[in-house]
Amino acid sequence: MNKDNINEIKLSQVIIKDEFWSDRQRLITDTVIPYQELILDDKIESVEKSHAFANFRIAAGIEDGDFYGMVFQDSDVAKWLEAVAYSLSIKPDRDLEYRADEIIAIIAKAQQEDGYLNTYFTIKEPDKRWTNLHACHELYCAGHMMEAAVAYYKATAKEQLLNVMERMSDHIEKHFVTEQREGIPGHQEIEIGLMKMYHATGKEKFFNLAKHFIDERGQKPDYFIREDQNRGWHHDIMDPRNTNYNQSYAPVREQKTAEGHSVRAVYMYTAMADIASVNGDKELYNACKAIWNNIVTKRMYITGGIGSNAEGEAFTLDYDLPNDSIYGETCASIGLIFFAKKMLDIYPSNQYADIMELALYNGVLSGMQLDGKRFFYVNPLEVNPDISGKLFGYKHVLPERPDWYQCACCPPNVARLLTSLGQYIWSEGLDTIYS
């Protein structure tokens, strides 16, 4: 492992003048972010209803109503705020910052007295908190909001959201560590958020909590099965007996191949690499290297797309890479870039930089139309308009980009990646610049 500590590049240090990428960043700052803001606030009637901002207003007691959307609807707001933060770093905008501050104030008001923050459970089922980690994504939403908090703090020096998410982290630590309640994230992401909180503040408690969730995964592969049996209520999309789906089939240091839901997987691998870079955990790093090699040599498309099966949005077997029924979720290629960057920070090598570039140009950019207003969730390599989107096995393969989704994880993910592009262009070691 390379111990030449890599310093994170501030976005304000990078000015992208390349015509290709400057045009795309300008599209995000000038069009995509304002457009997504209107969608999240339900001000564009022609697209799928979001209600994401309204959920926070209702949870905060500002307006009456019921929760609407996916159980992880909060994460759309978090990713949008993160994109806003990066946008403010490369293009200051007082009006946008003011509107973001207003949203953050509402989020703070929606936080419960004990630090808990999640609009679905606050509005809909307050007595069911932490009882369905498999499907209800409380920790996932918290992780994305932590990422937003760190990005906004770095861009504006404003600490309100950072403080909110520190309180949420303390609540989570109390529940899962201090009180020793059993549980791991059903969808990995909080591990990334906690590591960003650690890097931004230097507080070991964030690192320790991230490591706790990584270390616990796979120690009790039957956890989600028992959770399902014990809670007496159901909100499941996937069978909890499929332990590959959320990479809980074995302890992470024993995992050698990319398995299960592709976004869950690469988000977890990103955090694993980050943790290994901090504490020098060679066993964890070796697992990352083995998994990386499995992905890029046997389970990745020529475009940098990953996740070949619509069933579980998942990795399957080596070389099972069909073109016409590919899943290749935009978020998965984005997550692969995150993983590649963390591996690159540990050991500067073109093998990581090349895959990062491959996925960026192909697996990610294909997820957004050139006007920034239509998006692919699935990125097919082969489309037959008479079959795609219609027949069984191909309903996920759409011949045209929709304007929005009920599950809209990908559009704001593209926005936050492209606005933060400066962080991926070069790295700075103790006495070396890597480009």
Catalytic residues: 313, 409
Q: How far apart are CA 357 and CA 203, in angstroms?
A: 32
Q: Give which of 147, 154, 182 is closest to 168, Cα–Cα.
A: 147
Spatial CB neighbours of 282, under 8 Å, sequence gap ≥ 6: 1, 276
Q: How far apart are CA 80 and CA 63, in angstroms?
A: 22
For residue 314, which phi and psi values (nearest 5 degrees)?
A: -125, 160
84 sits in which H/E element: helix 74-90
Decide if 377 contacts 407 (C-beta within 8 A): yes
Residue whose structure tokens are 């011949």? 399
428 sits in which H/E element: strand 427-428
Residue whose structure tokens are 């936080």? 111
Strand partners of residue 323:
none
Annotate 105-131 with DSSP letters as a single string.
HHHHHHS-TTS---HHHHHT-GGGTTS
Q: How far apart are CA 120 and CA 142, in angstroms?
A: 12
For residue 32, which phi and psi values (nearest 5 degrees)?
A: -65, -50
Decide if 108 contacts 165 (C-beta within 8 A): no
Spatial CB neighbours of 126, under 8 Å, sequence gap ≥ 6: none
